[in-house]
Chain A
Amino acid sequence: MSDNPSLALDGQAPAPPGPLPMHNESGSKWMIIVFLEWFGDLGIFSWRVLRAAFTPPFEFGELYRQLDEIGSKSLPLVALAGAAIGAVLAMESMESMTRFGARSLLPSALVYSVVHEIGPIITALVVSGRVGAGIGAELASMKVTEQIDAIEASAVNPYRLLAATRILACIVMLPLLTLASDLCGLVMGWVALALAEPLSFHQFITSGFRGSDFSDLLPPTFKTAIFGLIIGTVSCFQGMRTRGGAAGVGRAATSSVVLSSLFVILADVVLVKLIIIFFP
């Protein structure tokens, strides 16, 4: 582990372990060491970002740029994904619910599925793919071309300028994108149902939200702020610890998407359980 406050979080770290040892026991030890080292570095990185985020000077200009980059520019993709999932869900559910004589529950089932689970997780995974790869590749490229060192040499804290702004933008934009995705999913779900049988949007919404109120929407929507935290943190971390030129940039982009998607899915399991406990 580096003793350096600078970005040589990895630049100064001991050389990475060599090829995976063939012996099973040694291989397991190696994996455990790499695993623990990764989490240790992530912890140090997160602490530096947290400290930088709450001390002036604040980088409002860069934050605004990232809100646009992460939020506005993800909107079309998220809306399209939400709309497609809403339509597919409606078409798939229609037949099975009719078979079980529960066709009247179709709007409720659709609203519940989209708002509680499908909307948030699809939004998070789409943003993880688009934004995670973008952040990972951009920061990795800056790292290997010494641009991050140049920022630091200019007496600017890169954790504040590059990481805190991107993570905060992800935290703020994920719930908003989720609302957009939910809306598009519900509208297209209604369209799919209305094409099969006459159903006004008002009837669909009234029937869909029967038995639930506005407060039911909040936990599943705001849990995506946690997804945003995960996507932003993992992507910035993977980008800023990159080594190894163009190949390193590619690895950073890929690992940003893979790891942030994986942690989002794992976090979802925990968050759903917590929501069930605290918002029954």
Chain B
Amino acid sequence: MTTIADIPIKAEALHSSNVPAIAVENVYKSFGSQRVLNGVSLTVGRGETLAVLGSSGSGKSVLLRLIIGLQSPDSGSVRIQGNDIAGLSLDQLGVYREKMGFLFQHAALYDSLTLEQNVAFPLLHHSRNMSASDLSDRVLQLLKEVGMEGHLDKMPADISGGMKKRVGLARALALDPEILLLDEPTAGLDPISSSEIDDLVLKLQAEHHMASIVVTHDLHSAKTIADRLILLHGGKVAVEGTFQDLQNSHDDFAREFLKHS
């Protein structure tokens, strides 16, 4: 098994609080002839939440996939806790991924497993010495955190979209991540469920103090849960700053975005 000692890593970077948890530097990414990201840079510090806003197809989700290593940039670098993840093998990337939780846009729950088994999945693979009762307790605790403790034996097909997001969030938190990546956590949900998810994310942020990136096109959600935001347009960062900065921006797309949100 690959351990942290097996990969080229700056040991001081892992523990230094000055190093940003996530640093994306001048990243370019194209699919065929379509350029999706055109020199995007961002940093997220420990305990900070960054919202990535933008219209559909602006590369928000691609940015998250680059950060967790599901895709690699054409050029530029993605640094996790100061270490460039480019060129690492799957097992080497696993060392960083254990520190990250990822909530997929459609939750991506394993449809052949119960909700309990879904949340237990990362624990079973990374905490192999954990006893069955400890595992069960931990899964229950995680599902309680997201308000799903009464649905252990249900299958993903039997629950609503909002509930799937909650279970996906519980699974993302299973390994106590230092970084949380949320891809459209409120997309497709009714306003009440969206608000509940926002409150849940805020609560988890306060409890776990993770560095987070929330990809969303929901301005209200971004305003509620993020410390800072960036607005992507044409593969570039059109606006970066606080919500106030976005409101005061003279960028044409930012104004248009605000007008229709």
Binding site for B on A (CB under 8 A): 2-8, 11-12, 14-15, 48, 52, 55-57, 141-142, 145-147, 149-157, 159
Contact = CB atoms under 8 A, between A and B. Distances in A.
A146 B108 contact: yes
Interface of B: 1, 31-33, 65, 68-72, 88-91, 93-95, 97-98, 100, 102, 104-106, 108-111, 121-122, 125-126, 128, 171, 175
Nearest to A4: B72
Contact of B70 (A8, A145, A156): A8
A142 to B, nearest CB: 8
A5 B104 contact: no
Contacts of B111: 141, 145, 147
A38 B177 CA distance: 37
A8 B69 CA distance: 10
Contacts, number: 94
B108 A145 contact: yes
B139 to A, nearest CB: 14
A159 B93 CA distance: 14
Contacts of A154: 97, 121-122, 125, 171, 175
Contacts of B175: 154-155
A48 B90 CA distance: 9
B93 A5 contact: yes
| Majority secondary structure, A binding face | loop
Contacts of A145: 106, 108, 111
A48 B89 CA distance: 10
A5 B90 CA distance: 6
Given A8-B70, A147-B110, A153-B100, A14 B90 contact: no
A12 B66 CA distance: 12
Contacts of B89: 5
B1 A6 contact: no
A12 B94 contact: no
A241 B13 CA distance: 36
B70 A149 contact: yes
